[in-house]
Amino acid sequence: MTPTETLQLLKSTTGFTPLGEATGNLTLGRGTLNESPVHIALVENKIASGSIGVKECDKLASLFRIVGAQKTPLLLYLDCAGARVSEGLPALGAFRQMYRAALEMTLAGAPMTALLGTHCYGGASMLAALAQQRVFSANTQLAMSGPTILAAAAGVSALDESFRAIASAGIGAAARAKLSPQNVLVWDHTAISTLSASPGSRHAQHQKLATHPTVAAALALATSQGDTRQDVVQRKDVAALYPLGYQGFESTIASSKVFFGKAKDLSGGIRLLGLIDKRLLGAARTWALADQVWALGAKFAAKGVERVHVLVDCEAHSAQLDDERAMLSCYLADLSIALMTLAKMGAMVETTVLGRVGGGVYVALAAASHKVNLLHGADIQLLPSKAVASILGDADAAQYGLADYVKARVADDELKVGYLRD
């Protein structure tokens, strides 16, 4: 079934009635399914590859809050390239607020099904990953990074037909349908019959993510090689953030490092987590960090509420094909859900950017955080400059100050501490 046919069937099956005028690529409406009312949001590929900008994000955020309060089922149609890169920083800030509302809606138990058009990339794929069910059109591609960016990361031409065929197969509908029963290949009148079903334990879903062959192999390799040691971390920037003292460690797993530890300030103790080694974030490492967060949640349930600070110096998510084959979007969504679960338990979650962050890593961490801080001189970007260049043809990266970040709703405060950068 083509995306057009999917959209037409969705409208006819539900008796879709639009509410107000369309906003860019977004149209909101209502309908009926199984004699029960449903909310419907359509993100169509009308302009800019179906991307969503500030206005679309703000309207979606409002809808998600309503759905979360009412727990009325939501049908979300996505033919979308993610956040609108041409709008720059404001689009990232709006996406942060929208994704937070989507997380809150999800944890409130509101049922959502995502029906996918031709492409679902970047933040849109993370949004789809929150759904209890994802319905693919025959030619749907879902990934954090599309074939062009995957080719650039692999060091091959975006016009290389052989690589594009391999990449398209890896992120296409048929491959996705094999990953999980939550991914349905063809939409028909019965495909959303499980819409009102419980999504089950989010932690159980997290554990299942560890069984994907790529991720399982990375975790098993680290364990078999004894590569799960805990190295002591001594950094001037972290020490300056916590002058009353901290203990930091990096657990080496899946060939990358996950930071964790404890600190204290005048208000008491703080749990530390994060990504501080500048490496791009792939599926296995995302799972390892999320596992640390879920473990903290178990401790909070037993011992009470604490503060959690996530420290990050990780420019972006990985654009490696192996990570996309594992459906990296689901791993990033899992990390967000784990952090938001902590927040819902009463923990105060803050993210502090030590160096640089952007893309899906920023969204996953910032959306679930009560507050985002910038170390003086740190940088937040919509996407890495190379990725922006592949989309807009302009590699020049804009420079922003704190006022720009705050106005765009990307960050909330700047921490000026006395230390010299290494």
Identical fold for domains 3-199 and 205-415, yes or no, is yes
Alpha-helical (H) ranges within 185-279 are: 202-209, 213-224, 236-241
- CATH topology assigned to domain 3-199: 2-enoyl-CoA Hydratase; Chain A, domain 1 (3.90.226)
Comparing C-alpha atoms, which of 58, 61, 52, 57 is closest to residue 25?
52
Q: Using CA of residue 86, residue 320, residue 324, residue 229, what is the dihedral sign?
A: negative
Q: Classify each residue of 142-166 as buried b or exposed e, where b means 16 or more C-beta atoms within 10 Å of its C-beta.
A: bbbbbbbbbbbbeeeeeeeeebbee
- Cβ–Cβ under 8 Å, residues 183 and 176: yes
pLDDT score of 383: 78
C-alpha dihedral sign at 312, 313, 319, 320: negative
Query: In terms of Cα–Cα distance, which of 308, 275, 309 is closest to 289?
Result: 275
d(CA 25, CA 42): 8
Domains of the chain, residue spans = 3-199, 205-415
Adjacent-strand bridge partners of 231: 250
SS3 of the chain: helix, strand, coil, percent, to 5:
40, 25, 30
Contacts of 297 (CB under 8 A, 6+ apart): 203, 338, 341, 342, 345
CATH class of 205-415: alpha beta
pLDDT at 218: 83
Q: What stretch of H or E contains 32?
A: strand 26-33
Burial of 83 from C-beta contacts in 10 A (0-12 / 13-18 / 19+) = buried
pLDDT at residue 196 in the model: 44
* Residue 79 backbone phi and psi in degrees, to 5: -125, 80
DSSP strand pairing (307-314 vs 268-275)? parallel
> What pLDDT does 32 receive?
92
CB 126 within 8 A of CB 86: no
Handedness of CA 353, 341, 293, 170 (dihedral sign): negative
What is the residue type of 86? S
Closest CA to 280 of 320, 310, 241, 242: 320
Contact at 8 Å (CB) between 90 and 55? no
Quick one: pLDDT at residue 188? 56
**Token pair of 36 as six digits:** 């029960």
Q: What is the pTM of this model?
A: 0.93
For residue 417, what are its two tokens? 């501490």
User: Is residue 7 classed as helix, strand or coil in its secondary structure?
Assistant: helix
One-letter amino acid identity for 242?
Y
For 340-359, give one letter per residue: b (16+ CB within 10 A) or e.
Answer: bbbbeeebbbbbbbbbbbbb
Q: Tell me the CA end-to-end span of the chain in Å, nearest whole number.
A: 55
∠ Cα 80 127 144 (to 5°) = 65
Residues 6+ apart with CB under 8 A from 387: 145, 149, 152, 316, 319, 359
What DSSP designation does 145 have?
S
Q: What angle do CA 239, 332, 180 make, to 5 degrees?
A: 150
Residues of the chain with pLDDT under 50: 193-194, 196-197, 225-227, 395, 420-422
